[in-house]
Amino acid sequence: MMAALQIEGLSKRFGNRLVLDGLSLQVQRGEVLGLLGPNGCGKSTVLNIVCQLLQADAGQIQLLGEPLTGLGARARARVGLCAQDCALYPDLLPAENLHFFGRLHGLPAAVRRARVAELMESFGLGPHAATRAGQLSGGWQQRLHLAIALMHRPELLLLDEPTAAVDVAARLDLWRLIDGLRDGGTTVLLTSHQLAEAERLCNRIALMRSGRVVALGTVAELVAQVPGQAVARVQSGNPAATVQRAQSLGWTAQKASGQLHFLLPSRASLRDVVDALDGPEVTAVSVQAVSLEDAYLKLLGEAAVLE
Ligand SMILES: Nc1ncnc2c1ncn2[C@@H]1O[C@H](COP(=O)(O)OP(=O)(O)OP(=O)(O)O)[C@@H](O)[C@H]1O
Ligand SMILES: [Mg+2]
């Protein structure tokens, strides 16, 4: 199947800092692909280059088999971006914002009117129709932001952290809206720092580091790349002693917040782990399947072995 988006050897420098280092990535038609990685690894730069806000130093980008570079307005018409910084006009009403961005894309008035009505309806913006965009809560601004990105019916939608800083209910709503877009055939490339969000929304996940994609696959495929059969999560009053004991058993220690995580080389029951760690300093133990978080930490090399 032809990729919706094919990126080959993309490089970008800011000053003497190499931010994208020959990045390659394929997004299949109709999938939601998540681009994940630490702050500053270049995720937004990729999205901004794909929607032609930034120019790459090198590399090729194809949208449905057609080169994107040099297409100018036509490329912009095929791609929609929901940028990391919410870009809407605070003094305009939601529908006025939609009209404004529709005009930017050169949509005729009749088409604009129909789409504004449709988006106000499908995004549940009706009750907020009389509120200026700048007065909407963060979650509603984010919904409007997404609606704006859809005004010109892009074939490819780029979402840069679409649910950062919104509450739980708004996040669930945005997830449903993104599901709906995918079901309607839109291809989506999104970034997120929330692994649960990526797991919930994405067909596949690309892990990015140092300007390259270092791993790509479904959650199951990424998890399968972790050299461990299970993860033991341990609380200890003496972490150094517990880590030393675990390492002597051949377990790999992973960095994690508040707890010790160990990758176990073979399947083990809770009892096996408790018996193996045996000591008064160990206050809580659980044994779980390897998760996307473990894969993220391990495959991005963030799983520094604890001292
Ligand atoms: N216009 C610019 N001029 C100079 N440096 C920039 C510019 N835009 C981005 N950078 C730098 O490029 C690097 C990658 O930035 P980018 O915004 O793509 O990262 P990111 O992965 O989206 O990070 P985050 O998760 O924090 O959003 C960072 O070091 C950033 O400071
Ligand atoms: Mg970013």
How do residues 98-132 score in pLDDT, each as one tens digit? 999 999 999 999 999 999 999 999 999 999 999 99
Protein residue closest via CA to atom 17 of ligand 1? 44
Q: What span, in angstroms and rounded, lies between the C-alpha atoms of 149 and 136?
A: 18
Pocket of ligand 1 (CB under 6 A): 14, 19, 37, 39-45, 84
pTM of model > 0.85: yes
- Calculate how far, in angstroms, residue 50's C-alpha sits from the geometric centre of ligand 2: 14
Protein residue closest via CA to atom 9 of ligand 1? 45
Return the ligand 1 atom nearest residue 84 CA: 27
Confidence band for 71, pLDDT divided at 50, 70 and 90 = low
pLDDT digits (tens, 9 = 90+) for 257-296: 678 899 999 988 999 999 999 888 999 999 999 999 989 9
Least confidently predicted of 28-32, 82-86, 213-217: 82-86
Write down all domains in the chain, each with its CATH number in brackets: 3-217 (3.40.50.300), 224-299 (3.30.70)
| Alpha-helical runs (H) found in 131-262 | 138-150, 168-183, 195-201, 219-224, 239-248
pLDDT digits (tens, 9 = 90+) for 176-216: 999 999 999 999 999 999 999 999 999 999 999 999 999 99
Q: What span, in angstroms and rounded, lies between the C-alpha atoms of 275 and 285?
A: 11
